A and B are shown apart, each in its own frame.
Chain A
Amino acid sequence: GAGVSQSPSNKVTEKGKDVELRCDPISGHTALYWYRQSLGQGLEFLIYFQGNSAPDKSGLPSDRFSAERTGGSVSTLTIQRTQQEDSAVYLCASQAGAGQETQYFGPGTRLLVL
Chain B
Amino acid sequence: QQQVKQSPQSLIVQKGGISIINCAYENTAFDYFPWYQQFPGKGPALLIAIRPDVSEKKEGRFTISFNKSAKQFSLHIMDSQPGDSATYFCAASMNSGTYKYIFGTGTRLKVLA
Contacts and interface: CB of A to CB of B under 8 A. Distances in A.
Interface of A: 4, 31, 33, 40-43, 45, 48, 50, 56, 91, 93, 95, 97-108
A43 B49 contact: no
A42 B105 contact: yes
Interface in B58-113: 89, 93, 95, 97-101, 103-106, 108
A91 B43 contact: yes
Given A101-B32, A101-B93, A107 B99 contact: no
B45 interface: yes
Interface of B: 32, 34, 36, 41-46, 49, 89, 93, 95, 97-101, 103-106, 108
Contacts of B93: 101
Contacts of B43: 4, 91, 93, 105-108
A42 B106 contact: yes
A42 B89 contact: yes
Given A41-B105, A42-B104, A99 B95 contact: yes
Nearest to A9: B41
Contact of A48 (B89, B100, B108): B100
Given A42-B89, A43-B89, A50-B98, A101 B49 contact: yes
Among A41, A45, A93, A105, residue most surrounded by chain B Cβ atoms (within 10 Å): A105
B32 A107 contact: no
Given A50-B98, A108-B43, 19 more contacts: A31-B98, A33-B100, A40-B108, A41-B106, A42-B104, A48-B100, A56-B100, A91-B44, A98-B98, A99-B95, A101-B32, A101-B34, A101-B93, A102-B46, A102-B49, A104-B46, A105-B36, A106-B43, A107-B41
Nearest to A4: B43
A97 B46 contact: no
Leading 4 A-B pairs by shortest Cβ distance: A105-B43, A42-B105, A43-B103, A101-B99
